[in-house]
């Protein structure tokens, strides 16, 4: 079974530029998560989708971050404009149907904002 796929794996941009990350969850998984992991910290949930609807985006900085999952499968996370403090690893995870189901994580996208 293929795991959660993410691209790109690495990205370097200058502040105030825009960047987008892509995630393809495990086939059949209804729930998709985006986490931000700053160096030395644990992952922090940014947004959770159930199919193509948002379940929780309480920690998403909506003035600069946006995410979508239009067809209920793959998802994109965008930052516009990026700030220095956005440098982090962005992890995507999916689970069969949320709730108590195990979350499976992708390898992450490492973002460096200069």
Partner 1 sequence: KQEVTQIPAALSVPEGENLVLNCSFTDSAIYNLQWFRQDPGKGLTSLLLIQSSQREQTSGRLNASLDKSSGRSTLYIAASQPGDSATYLCAVRLIQILSYNTDKLIFGTGTRLQVFP
Site for partner 1, rule CB under 8 A: 4, 31, 40-45, 48, 50, 55-56, 91, 93, 95, 97-108, 110
What's the min distance (Å) between Cβ of 16 and partner 1?
Answer: 27
What's the min distance (Å) between Cβ of 65 and partner 1?
Answer: 17
CB 55 within 8 A of CB 67: no
Nearest CB to partner 1, comparing residues 14 and 97: 97
- Of 31, 29, 7, whose CA–CA distance to 106 is shortest? 7
What are the tokens at 56? 């929780």
What's the min distance (Å) between Cβ of 26 and partner 1?
Answer: 12
């Amino acid at each position: 079974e293929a795991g959660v796929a993410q691209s790109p794996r690495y990205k370097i941009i200058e502040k105030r530029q825009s960047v987008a990350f892509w995630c393809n969850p495990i086939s059949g998984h209804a729930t998709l998560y985006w986490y931000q992991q700053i160096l030395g910290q644990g992952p922090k949930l940014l947004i959770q989708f159930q199919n193509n609807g948002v379940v929780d985006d309480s920690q998403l900085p909506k003035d600069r971050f946006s995410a979508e999952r239009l067809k209920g499968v793959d998802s994109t996370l965008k930052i516009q404009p990026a700030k220095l403090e956005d440098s982090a690893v962005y992890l995507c995870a999916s689970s069969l149907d949320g709730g108590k189901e195990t979350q499976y994580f992708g390898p992450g996208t490492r973002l460096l904002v200069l």
